[in-house]
Amino acid sequence: MGFLCGPRIYKYDGWDFEIHSFCGPWPLKKNGDPCKRAGRIFYKMWERFDKLSEEEKVKYCLGGGCIAF
């Protein structure tokens, strides 16, 4: 048995973004590719998202994380 892990993908406040375990949050384009830059507006949204409880964050999760195989 093993695990395959990837970043969790979220949709919050009009933003699609991933949260990687050691790279942190990063915005995504609508097609799922990473944006070239993460600016001030993205990080202001991230601050609001980060203040949510873990139960609230789960509501905005689209997928990702670890799966066992």
pLDDT, tens digit, for every residue of 4-61?
888 999 999 999 999 988 889 999 999 999 999 999 999 999 999 999 999 999 999 9
Contacts of 35 (CB under 8 A, 6+ apart): 26, 27, 28, 29
Helices (H) and strands (E) counted in the chain, each on its own, are: 2, 4
| Residue 68: predicted pLDDT | 86
Tell me how crowded residue 15 is: count the other CB atoms within 10 A of its CB.
17
Which residue in 4, 5, 34 sits closest to 17, CA to CA? 34
pTM of the model: 0.87
